[in-house]
Structure 1
């Protein structure tokens, strides 16, 4: 296990899983410029680490993230307005090469919602709240919210949340597909870690190729044919590396008759939070 603790971001690696925590609990984990920089660097380090396969993003102290720090915007607007190279929230314009799971406790609102949308999967506690709360203050979504939210929940539902700024509670978020899993209070981090353990069990080149193809089709390709071509070119090299071995396992009886285990028998250092 490796650990890197800073004033603003906590990073720990447990085997193939990297845990990245926003560490501003006194501000409900609002993101200011130093935190955004630290968060982006943490994800760059995660992607550069060949041993790390999946990351879990969470907030320290009971809230995922309540958005961008409006105190900084009010007192130092040039800092906010000149962040073209990255999203104001940190990694939201950075394309991670590996899956990221959000463990959502408490509030994930405004830019915090956008940060959760940047993640591939979202494990949300049953009392958590999401929403475009920045609607009240005239702060636009510029960390991917208008791009990713419609792709995840559809145009009509996205416009509902974006235009009204209303809160969406966990059950509705889960019913809409905005949340991947809904779990008991106090268990989001442990649940996200369990889900990460499930993902690291699979052949990784194939998993990453299918992830790239899915994201490209949903967010990048303007036509069906371009999406299909990308999928073929992206996935075909995996066949020689992993698929033939997988087919041999199948002929030996592994995974036949619909048997599929999406549970891990590995230890969970966050078991106390389950």
Structure 2
């Protein structure tokens, strides 16, 4: 029985971790399914934004520790740090936006999957944290790499070394959550956000997103040159048409009018 379920609505792909009896804890076969779902999303030119969610009211409780002693179910552990990552897609560098819809618990490897996303929509009663601190299981799905980039070094070290739970309000205050919504609303809110992002001229969205990530690894002058080199061609392909719409009266006073853009161009 599949532990990952995929729904496609318009240009949004929702990837469900669907193992509620184990609070969506990920074993080796489920990790492979997750990786395949993300690869399919990346390859589908009709799809623009993905939402990652967990069924049964829980995002993901991490790696399934019951699989450690079972060779058929054990998560991938590469001593050289290669492969796709024990949780499945955690070492991917996604080319398109991902939003995590966080409900219940997003802890240990589940937190690391949430960190893979560009944005996190978190339900008010959700809990996030490095709960694997208690069991001697290290963060090997991007947690020590992505968490400091999202919340800063001091806050990341606090969460990593103490393993303490983080509620939605604190997550919002430190930048770990981008939106806080009422219980049961994360998926709908994440899909609405995905549709909003997808409604913009999309080559421009992808270019600015890629430049933002690339700039983290480059010296300032090199990052600025790379930003310009990637962005200037987009001015002609999408920006000129957008400027013409503005001159004609659209979008004045900061209005966001989704009917101004179309989904005709896909990445």
* Shift in CA distance, 23/233, structure 1 to aligned 2, threshold 3 Å: same
What's the counterpart of residue 257 of structure 1?
253
Aligned pairs for 1:64-75 (under 5 A) are 64-75=59-70
How many Å separate the matches in 2 of 1:15 and 1:75?
Answer: 40
Structure 1: tracts of 5 or more residues without a match: 1-5, 264-274
What's the counterpart of residue 231 of structure 2?
235
What's the counterpart of residue 113 of structure 1?
111
In the TM superposition, residue 95 of structure 1 has moved relative to its aligned partner by: 1.2
When normalised by structure 2's length, the TM-score is 0.92
What's the counterpart of residue 197 of structure 1?
195
What's the counterpart of residue 262 of structure 2?
none
Whether contact under 8 Å (1:111, 1:141) holds in the other structure is: yes
Aligned pairs for 1:66-215 (under 5 A) are 66-76=61-71, 79-82=75-78, 84-215=82-213
Whether contact under 8 Å (1:126, 1:185) holds in the other structure is: yes
User: What does the per-residue CA deviation read over 1:90-114, in whole Å, with 9 as the maximum and x for residues that have no partner?
Assistant: 1111111110100000000001001
Aligned length: 256
Mean CA deviation greater in 65-74 or 20-29: 65-74
Aligned pairs for 1:21-36 (under 5 A) are 21-36=16-31
From 37, 43, 59, the equivalent of 1:48 is: 43
Whether contact under 8 Å (2:99, 2:194) holds in the other structure is: yes
Mean CA deviation greater in 205-214 or 80-89: 80-89
* Shift in CA distance, 165/262, structure 1 to aligned 2, threshold 3 Å: farther
How many Å separate the matches in 2 of 1:45 and 1:79?
Answer: 21
What is the DSSP-based 3-state SS (H/G/I as helix, E as strand, rest coil) of the residue aligned with 1:80? coil
What's the counterpart of residue 245 of structure 1?
241
What is the DSSP-based 3-state SS (H/G/I as helix, E as strand, rest coil) of the residue aligned with 1:10? strand
What's the counterpart of residue 11 of structure 1?
6
In the TM superposition, residue 194 of structure 1 has moved relative to its aligned partner by: 0.8
* Shift in CA distance, 78/182, structure 1 to aligned 2, threshold 3 Å: closer
In the TM superposition, residue 78 of structure 1 has moved relative to its aligned partner by: 7.1
Whether contact under 8 Å (2:27, 2:74) holds in the other structure is: no
1:59 equivalenced with 2:60 (yes/no): no
User: What does the per-residue CA deviation read over 1:111-157, in whole Å, with 9 as the maximum and x for residues that have no partner?
Assistant: 10010000011000000000000101111111111111111111110
- Cα RMSD (Å): 1.7
In the TM superposition, residue 80 of structure 1 has moved relative to its aligned partner by: 3.3
How many Å separate the matches in 2 of 1:257 and 1:24?
Answer: 47
What is the DSSP-based 3-state SS (H/G/I as helix, E as strand, rest coil) of the residue aligned with 1:186? coil
What's the counterpart of residue 268 of structure 1?
none
